[in-house]
Amino acid sequence: MQIEPIAYFRSPFATKFGVPKQSGLVDCLQGTIEFVPQYRNADALRGIDEFDYLWLVWEFSANKHAANSPVVRPPLLGGNVRMGVFATRSPFRPNRLGLSSVRIANVELDTTRGPLIHVLGADLMDGTPIYDIKPYVAYADCHPDARSGFVDKHAIRRLMVIIPQTVSSKFNDSELEALRKVLELDPRPQYHDDPKKVYGMMYAGIDVKFCVADGVLTVVD
């Protein structure tokens, strides 16, 4: 079987740096599913507005090198512990496929770019190829009592974030809210801890620079 993208994702992230490590972590983060010309048919979306969430099957397109190792080092474990690749959600995997659950914000069936699905909470960078879309079905897909392996033992750490007005004024309210939540999750590699280092990420067309010290992330102008 050979598969081709049915759509591409439009996101405020021009690169993978800063993209949330899991879908749903930044529930207000906006993005859009834009179909390739072959699938710009409103009939293919008939009934989709009756669902709240979708599953997206997509490609880790930013990973250009082959993933041959049977083990990876999850960032959540500090980058020093090796786990089996199939016991993690690492992007470095044999077929480079990702799976994300996103919330439908609204659907536009008739635009100059064909039907568009606007979603919230995605963990995809701009231009990510999407290979399939399926509706999230609560009775089959929700397992609230399920164990989550090593993830259960490591709480998500959030930082205090300071964004000066000179930077916050460059974004609209929804962009700023999502940016703050993205930065709270600490976009740095887990093993980085240099308070003097200035990091930068492209977000909504703006180069956002920041540093982190003592649990506080400060955006610098």
CATH number, domain of 30, equals 2.40.30.70
- The reply to whether 112 and 180 lie within a common domain is no
**Domain check: are 39 and 117 in the same one?**
yes
Residues 57, 112: one domain? yes
pLDDT for the residue numbered 175? 98
Same domain membership, residue 104 and residue 44: yes
pLDDT at residue number 64: 73
The count of domains in the chain is 2
Instruction: Flag whether 107 is in a domain.
Output: yes
- Strand segments, DSSP code E, in the chain are 7-10, 30-35, 53-59, 71-72, 83-84, 97-108, 116-120, 129-135, 160-162, 199-203, 206-213, 216-220
The per-residue pLDDT for 83 is 92
Pair 131, 161 in one domain:
no
Q: 107 and 16, same structural domain? A: yes
Answer whether residue 74 is part of any domain. Answer: no
Query: Domain check: are 13 and 114 in the same one?
Result: yes
Instruction: Give pLDDT, residue 1.
Output: 86
Q: Is residue 147 part of a domain?
A: no
By residue range, what is the domain housing residue 13? 7-61+96-141
How many CB atoms are located within 10 Å of the residue 98 CB? 19
Position 14 scores a pLDDT of: 95
By CB atoms closer than 10 A (0-12, 13-18, 19+), residue 80 is exposed
User: How far, in Å, CA of 24 to CA of 120, rounded?
Assistant: 8
Q: Is residue 71 part of a domain?
A: no
| Same domain, residue pair 158 and 137 | no
117 and 201 both lie in a single domain: no
Backbone angles phi, psi at 139, to 5 degrees: -65, -25
Gap between the Cα atoms of 58 and 127, Å rounded: 11
- Spell out the per-residue pLDDT of the chain, length 221, in tens: 899 999 999 999 999 999 999 999 999 999 999 999 999 999 999 999 999 999 999 999 988 777 889 999 888 887 789 999 999 998 989 999 999 999 999 999 999 999 999 999 999 999 999 999 999 999 999 999 999 998 888 888 899 999 999 999 999 999 999 999 999 999 998 777 889 999 999 999 999 999 999 999 999 98
